[in-house]
Amino acid sequence: MSFDGIMTRAITHELTEHLSKGKITKIYQPFPTELIFVIRSKGKSHKLLLSANASYPRVHITEQQYENPKVPPMFCMLLRKHLEGGVIDEIEQPGMERILIFNIASRNEIGDITHKRLIVEIMGRHSNISLVDADTDLILDCVKHIPPSQNRYRTLLPGSPYVFPPAQDKINPLETDEETFIRKLDFNSGKIDRQIVQQFEGLAPIVANEIVHGSQLGNKQSLSSSFMTLMEKVKSHDYSPQMVITDKKEYFSVIELSHLKGEATRFEDVSTLLDRFYFGKAERDRVKQRASDLERFLRNELKKNEQKIPKLKSTLSNSEKADTFKLYGELITANIYQLERGMNKAEVPNYYDENAEMITIPMDTQKTPSENAQQYFKKYNKMKNSIEHIHQQLDETNDEIRYLESLLQQLESASASDVEEIREELEDGHYLKKRKNVQKRKKNDKPSIERYRSTKDVDIWVGKNNKQNDYLTNKFANAYDTWLHTKDIPGSHVVIRDSEPDETTLMEAANIAAYFSKAKHSGSVPVDYTHIKHVKKPSGAKPGFVTYDHQKTIHVTPDEDLVYQLRQRNS
């Protein structure tokens, strides 16, 4: 389900209850289109996330941790100037539009009270966040600038009047009676769910499907009754926040989705639902955009190495004919007394065959029998030496494939800072050219490793890339800490701060190890565990590579809900 008008109404109601009359104490802009407001209200601090992300626009209270840039962007500085210390007077939604308006009262430089409106438009790739002067309706600034050349109807630039998105001329479903509902639909045309979406504002297709599903008899009266029942719940803010996972997709909603067949999880409030639904999704989307060139490079390198394997095996297969050349040389030498220069072949008995059958050996007519024998011995020695070299190349190529696959796996769950560490690792390994004018981390800077907390209150630490894995395993962990890794599968190093963890903690840590691995979407993933003292890094090995022994193996099925909960326990 998209962030439709009903979801906007639900989150507006919830934010009003939690944040109304709250004081804005801090403002951050961790990403170009996302803001974090820290708001003190009713004796508690809340983190409000405002996102105009093209793929995942949303507004909700969050418990997630975000890394802030060292230098705040200009838009963030402007918001701090006008809104920090301000009080949220009111949060409203125009009609059933996907728009939230935060009316904020604050004091200017000389102490006078001023009124601003922070307007969040949740409209897919057209999403935006605008700071507007409430007295003049002029835009002070926006997260995304929209010049006249891009949109003649709405110019979203500093100094321009703020204009709401054009109305779609749909009916507000909360102000509709049964008679109007029936009159607006053409029951002879079919596709009632599409007609509902086209006629009434703020309703996503999945809501229309639920209305049709709730109409058991399928006639006009039954359909209008289903519509009115649902709208009464929305009017009275009677919500059922839930996430439903089907075979094809994940859905979130604040109404019952009884028509979907899948696993439903219910939540206490709308913010908790949205925080859980978007867990990792927006981060992966940002990383995908930021690391697209890196992923493309790694996939190309992986393809090159995979293509080398059959070529090397083919060369190895040809090289295994070396024994034949050795045989030819020995048989020519043994029968040299009956061979002459100019012969194009030699038919001699194969003394190495029990039946001593005759064998035909090609001969170079320009060479003596002795020279032919020496030529075959030379070919034999060359091929024999090449076999060792090819085996070495095969081992090196397979190691390279495993290394590149591990980096691709790490990109899937990497944060923005993790991506930079992966890029630096490739530069240090001479896979990529070192970038100029890029501020590098100091050599003694410690990588940041993620901490989780088991339900038994035991610390679980996770490395998300090779630099973090090396630091976690070789420097951070103690000799008798428990170390986990997916068996023969690229993945993260995981450490439990306990030498003999209880079974619950061990299974939870194994679940984290499986989740941050290439087998994330598989079932019954094997995870090895042992003490850190049994984990060794071979001399000259690639970053993140270790060997280990004295291990035991358990099998788990990765559970994103569990990983989310364990991460929240450490928040």
Summarize the confidence of residues 315-342 as an average pLDDT.
83
Summarize the confidence of residues 72-76 as an average pLDDT.
94
User: What is the percent of the chain with per-residue pLDDT over 90, rounded to a whole number?
Assistant: 56
pLDDT category at 442 given cuts 50, 70, 90 is low
pLDDT category at 453 given cuts 50, 70, 90 is very high
Say if residues 527 and 555 touch (Cβ distance below 8 Å).
Answer: yes
Span 293-410 CATH architecture: Orthogonal Bundle (1.10)
Q: Which CATH class is domain 5-142?
A: mainly beta
Say yes or no to pLDDT of 440 above 80. no
pTM over 0.75: no
Neighbours of 326 (CB within 10 A): 17
Cα distance between the two ends of the chain: 28
Give pLDDT tens digits for 457-478. 999 999 989 999 999 999 999 9
Give pLDDT tens digits for 246-297. 877 888 999 998 888 888 889 999 999 999 898 878 777 777 777 888 889 9
Report the 3 state secondary structure along 38-78: EEEECCEEEEEEEECCCCCCEEEECCCCCCCCCCCCHHHHH
Pick the CATH number of 173-285 from 1.10.3720.10, 1.10.760.10, 3.20.20.140, 1.10.8.50: 1.10.8.50
For all residues of the chain together, what is the average pLDDT?
A: 89
Q: What is the dihedral of CA 340, 346, 347, 353, to 10 degrees?
A: 120
Tokens of residue 361, six digits: 């050996």
Q: What is the pLDDT of residue 469?
A: 94
Helical H runs in 236-368? 270-277, 281-290, 292-319, 322-334
Q: What is the pLDDT of residue 315?
A: 78
The ranges assigned to domains in the chain are 5-142, 173-285, 293-410, 450-568
Contacts of 164 by beta carbon, 8 Å cutoff, 6+ apart: 94, 97, 99
Provide the β-strand partners of residue 461: 451, 495
Strands (DSSP E) contained in 510-559 are 525-531, 535-536, 547-548, 552-556
Contacts of 448 by beta carbon, 8 Å cutoff, 6+ apart: 417, 468
φ, ψ (nearest 5 deg) of residue 113: -75, 130
Tokens of residue 479, six digits: 């000799």
Q: What is the pLDDT of residue 186?
A: 84
